[in-house]
Amino acid sequence: MKKQNKKIMSGLAGAALLMTGCASAAPETVVNEVPQAAPEANKEEALEINGYKLENIQRNEIPYTKVANAEGSFVWDQDVISPSSDVFNIYGTAMTGACAKPSFALEEGKETIGEYYINVSGSMTHSQSVTLKDLEDKEETRVMSCACATGNVVVNAEVTGIPLSAILELTEVAEDANTITFRGSDGYGIPMPLTYALEKNAMIVYKVNGEVLPDGQTSQLWMPGTVAKYFTRDILDIEVTVEDEVPEVITAGDEYRVHVNIMNYADQAKFTAGNPIVFEGYADDYDKAITAVEFSLDNGETWTTYEVEGASVDKWVYWYFTYTPEETGIYKMMVRAINEDGNVTPLASTLVFSVEEAEGV
């Protein structure tokens, strides 16, 4: 059963959290049961935390409360789902500039899946135009992630569509065919090795989290374990060809591999000493499995490692780390991940938070 990706206020009395690393779309509510956060404080008061100005906190010009080998409880899950609004927003905005090109609205009369044709042509026994409705008996629903190659943007979604393999079964592809290109309504398409698309279980998707696609879109190409640059929208043509040189596979730069993100946020509130804080976030590395997530509360001098056994590469690893601060002060949580090759996140995700005495203490 899918679980909605959630936003957590993290703490018995709320939190004053300051993100100093990158973040993708934030979650909405809490998966496990935690108390409600305190109401937001006055924003002018939030300019200072424990007497320190936020700008000084951002510049690391304050003495953090350091905890060596910080320990807590750790759990992880791969079926936590990003809210549909976040998925669609990332496809429409963040990925417009960083990944796949934007799509144009289809002509009138093509909005319904039943009437939406995809032309399949090229190096095959016969070309064919099919509607997705023609293949509805081949429909599949899977949970998979989509990660941008040029930024820390990741979503995990339940997608419904038709596998590429089912479409190509209708055409008898030539034995020497080695390249496939998916072209959208705006002409966008990136050639890739045919074997790569099939090995990655490419799908022509028309529903995300059970919802039809927004803004006139009819389909999207989804391939787990690949960069989002391949995720073409409003597919009109699938062309299979024989090329002298098979296209190189596009991969993410090393600076974007093994990315990890803290998803917590809570404005202008504060934690209290002795009460647990639930941090949450994700780790992902395209075609490499995540094998561990590490946490530090002493600016990276020591790291506490929690292993992630058996994680698949087609979904993100969504983690929860519960920590109970015993002392008041300003803390900085750092998180990084390790992949199956032993590579570590180049830049840890960090989050600054304040802990004060409980009332009446």
Tell which residue, 337, 332, 320, 334, has the closest CA to residue 276: 320
Residue 247 inside a domain? The answer is no
Q: Are residues 99 and 220 in the same domain?
A: yes
Residue 54 clears pLDDT 70, i.e. is over it: no
Tell which residue, 291, 303, 282, has the closest CA to residue 343: 291
pLDDT of residue 230: 86
Mean pLDDT of all residues in 264-282: 80
CATH number at residue 330: 2.60.40.650
pLDDT of residue 143: 92
Strand partners of residue 184: 235
Q: Are residues 133 and 64 in the same domain?
A: no
How far is the CA of 325 from the CAs of 259, 274, 289, 321, 322, in angstroms? Answer: 26, 6, 31, 13, 10
What secondary structure letter does DSSP report for 94?
I
Q: Which two tokens stand for residue 218?
A: 């009819």
Which of 219, 241, 263 is where one domain is finished? 241
Q: Which residue has the higher pLDDT, 19 or 261?
A: 261
Residue 120 clears pLDDT 60, i.e. is over it: yes
Q: Are residues 229 and 89 in the same domain?
A: yes
Q: Which two tokens stand for residue 89?
A: 């927003």
Q: Are residues 211 and 91 in the same domain?
A: yes
Q: Are residues 269 and 308 in the same domain?
A: yes
Give residue 90's pLDDT band: very low, low, confident or very high (50, 70, 90): low
Rounded to 5 degrees, φ, ψ at 45 are -70, -25
Q: Which residue has the higher pLDDT, 120 or 31?
A: 120
Q: Are residues 105 and 233 in the same domain?
A: yes
Strand partners of residue 53: 48
Task: Estimate the share of the chain in helix, then strand, then coil, as percent rounded to the nearest 5.
Answer: 15, 35, 50
Residue 221 inside a domain? The answer is yes
Q: For the whole prediction, is pTM greater than 0.75?
A: no
Which of 241, 262, 293 is where one domain is finished? 241
Q: Determine the structural domain holding residue 129 and report its residue range.
A: 84-241
Q: Are residues 76 and 111 in the same domain?
A: no
List the single range of 64-78, 125-139, 243-257 with lowest mean pLDDT.
125-139
pLDDT of residue 7: 38
Give residue 254's pLDDT band: very low, low, confident or very high (50, 70, 90): confident
Q: How far is CA 278 from the centre of its chain?
A: 20
pLDDT of residue 107: 35
Read off the pLDDT of residues 288-308 as tens digits, 9 standing for 90 and up.
999 999 999 999 999 999 999
Q: Which residue has the higher pLDDT, 21 or 146?
A: 146
Strand partners of residue 57: none
Give residue 114's pLDDT band: very low, low, confident or very high (50, 70, 90): very low
Q: Are residues 100 and 234 in the same domain?
A: yes
Which of 220, 241, 262 is where one domain is finished? 241
User: Are the CB atoms for 353 and 333 separated by under 8 Å?
Assistant: yes
CATH number at residue 192: 3.90.420.10
pLDDT of residue 13: 30
Q: Which residue has the higher pLDDT, 58 or 185?
A: 185
User: Are the CB atoms for 13 and 269 separated by under 8 Å?
Assistant: yes
Rounded to 5 degrees, φ, ψ at 196 are -65, -45
How many structural domains comprise the chain? 2
Q: Are residues 115 and 192 in the same domain?
A: yes
Max Cα-Cα span within the chain: 80
User: Are the CB atoms for 293 and 316 separated by under 8 Å?
Assistant: no
Q: Which residue has the higher pLDDT, 14 or 271?
A: 271
Instruction: Say which residue the tokens 């998916």 belong to.
Output: 182
User: Are the CB atoms for 261 and 267 separated by under 8 Å?
Assistant: no
Residue 284 clears pLDDT 50, i.e. is over it: yes
pLDDT of residue 301: 96
What secondary structure letter does DSSP report for 297?
B
Q: Are residues 233 and 119 in the same domain?
A: yes
Give residue 87's pLDDT band: very low, low, confident or very high (50, 70, 90): confident
Q: Are residues 288 and 233 in the same domain?
A: no
Tell which residue, 353, 263, 331, 328, has the closest CA to residue 46: 353
Q: How far apart are CA 300 and CA 304, in angstroms?
A: 10
Read off the pLDDT of residues 320-337 as tens digits, 9 standing for 90 and up.
999 999 999 989 999 999
pLDDT of residue 340: 96
How confident is the prediction for the chain on average, in pLDDT? 77
Residue 246 inside a domain? The answer is no
Residue 101 clears pLDDT 80, i.e. is over it: no
pLDDT of residue 151: 60
Q: Are residues 136 and 168 in the same domain?
A: yes
Q: Which residue has the higher pLDDT, 272 or 228?
A: 272
Residue 321 inside a domain? The answer is yes
Q: How many residues does the chain have?
A: 361
Residue 248 inside a domain? The answer is no
Q: Which string of DSSP letters, residue by residue, matches 249-276?
A: PP---GGGTTEEEE----TT--EETTS-
- Residue 91, classed as helix, strand or coil, is helix
List the single range of 31-40, 122-131, 295-304, 343-352 with lowest mean pLDDT.
31-40
